[in-house]
Each structure stands twice: as structure tokens, then as C-alpha cells.
Amino acid sequence: MKSEFNTSLEALSAKMGDWFQAIIINLPNIIIAVLVFFIAYYVSQKLRELIIRVLQNKIKQHSIRNLIGNIVSITTIAVGIFLALTVLNLDKALSSILAGAGVAGLAIGLALQGTIANTFSGIFLAVKDILNVGDFIETNGYTGTVENINLRYVTLKEPDNNLVIIPNNLVVENPFKNFGLTSQIRVTLNCGVAYNSNLREVRDLANDTISNAFPQGNKVIEFHFLEFGDSSIDFQMRFWVDARRNITQLEAKSNAIILLKEAFDKNNIDIPYPIRTLINTSVKN
């Protein structure tokens, strides 16, 4: 028993001696590999800060800027690890690590495909600059102001102050209307005047009233008489207002109704309403 123990101890000592000798022989490579790794780590942090600073004026979402910076940083560190393992002549170990990472990445990708889709959709929204915080939009049956955009979802605040959380991929894959991409909105207003009205006077008065309240610039107010109604001659006006929100369109339409009513009253132009005459046909005996 004692001899077997001594034999094992001698074998262990010889093995440790071989290891120590290998470390001494490869010490320059080890030092170089460590230096390569730390240099790669330092460069990755500087690149991350630089990328975030460069993207600050191009991508408004802080979380997406950080994601892109982290991707660049991780890629740089991965390159450093690859170079360090190459210096240590551990190419086979590197191949095994890459193969294992590929299998693990496939499994993780299948498990998190929804999250990944939302992440890339969030990056797409940020890079394309088609949706920003503060824009008034309609999407997926909801209307409201964009409160937040992150890597998973878009937060909308509806006019009634309710918050709606919509996954990024639903916003990207479905049509949406962004009022914030345009500086003007067209307002449509329908009205009617009495049959005894001077139609040319009505047209000129309506155009002057709207153009004074809502300057059109190089655009033209559209005015059309539509039909002979049951109790009025109906017309439609379409004009432009400076706005980036749908609520402004409603406000402009409301103000236009007030101004037209005041102008018509001042010039004795009636806006008639349907009159129903009831006739009592019952006969008293």
C-alpha cells in the first residue's frame, strides 16, 4: 500500500513538473495573450463610449444607443479572446468553443425569437427615424402620443390618458399613421346654406373667413357646392392647418365652425335645419 502511494506521488510530482516546465516555456505567449485580452477590453470600452456619443444625435432612444454600443464592445472583446487563444496555440479549443456557441445560439434564438424580433424592430424604428417620442400616431387600432420606445415595445398615451403597450414587431409589420412626419393636416368641413342665399357671396365669404384664420401659404382652399339638400344647399370646404397631432385637426375644425357661423350671422346668411311639420289627421265626431 505504501509503495503504491509513493508511486502515485512520484507520478503526480512528475506531472506537475511537466506542467511547470510547460508554463515556463510558454510564459512569453501567456504574457502576450493576457496583454492582448486587456488591450481588447480597453479598446472595447472606448469604442462603446465613442459609438454612443456618435449616435446621440442620430438615435434618440437611449436604450438602443446602449445596445449598439454593447454589441460593438462584445464583438471587440470576442476578437481579443480569439487572438489571445491563437497566441496560446489553442486553435482546437477555440473551434470547440465556437461550435458549442453556435449550437447554444441556435437554441436560444428559437426560444427567444419573439424577443429578438422586437429587439431588431426597435433598432429598425430608431435607425429609420420614422417614429419618435412625442409623435401622434395611429397603429394597431390605437391612437395616441408616443411616450417611450425601447427594445421591446412602444408606449402610447391615448387622448383619455390611458397607456397602451404595443410590441415593436407589431408596429413595424402593420401599417401605422404618424402625424409627426408631416407639418400640415387637411381639415374637411361640411355645411349648408338656405336656398335664398347668394351662392357666390357664400363662397367668397367662407373662403375669406377661413384664409384669415388659417393662412394657407402656397396652398389653396378647396370650396365646392355638393348638392341640393332637403332644406339647404350643401357645400364642403377643405383647408390646411399647421399641425402634427390629430387633435389639432379637431380643434381647427371646431374654430372654423365658430368663425363661419359668426360670419354668416353677420351677413344674414341662414344655415337652415330640417323642419318637420306634424299634421293631426284625427277626426273628431
Nearest to 176, CA basis, from 186, 188, 184, 168: 168
- 163-167 and 233-242 as β-strands: parallel, antiparallel, unpaired? unpaired
214 neighbors 252 (Cβ within 8 angstroms):
yes
pTM exceeds 0.75, yes or no: no
Rounded CA gap, 271 and 179, in Å? 33
Average pLDDT, the chain: 78
234 neighbors 192 (Cβ within 8 angstroms):
yes
Cα 213 from chain centre: 34
* Segment 141-188, tens digit of pLDDT: 888 888 888 778 888 888 888 898 888 888 888 888 887 777 778 889
* Segment 120-139, tens digit of pLDDT: 777 777 666 677 777 888 88
Return the DSSP state at 181: G
Per-residue pLDDT, 167: 87
Return the DSSP state at 218: T
Rounded CA gap, 204 and 3, in Å? 119
Beta bridge partners of 191: 235
Residue 131 three-state SS = coil
259 band by pLDDT with thresholds 50, 70 and 90: very high
If you average pLDDT over residues 29-46, what whole number do you get? 82
If you average pLDDT over residues 215-241, what whole number do you get? 89
Positive/negative CA dihedral, 248, 250, 256, 261: negative
Domains and CATH numbers, the chain: 2-111 (no CATH), 130-181 (2.30.30.60), 184-266 (3.30.70.100)
Rounded CA gap, 144 and 163, in Å? 9
Rounded CA gap, 202 and 223, in Å? 10
Nearest to 142, CA basis, from 127, 122, 163: 163
Nearest to 48, CA basis, from 61, 66, 28: 66
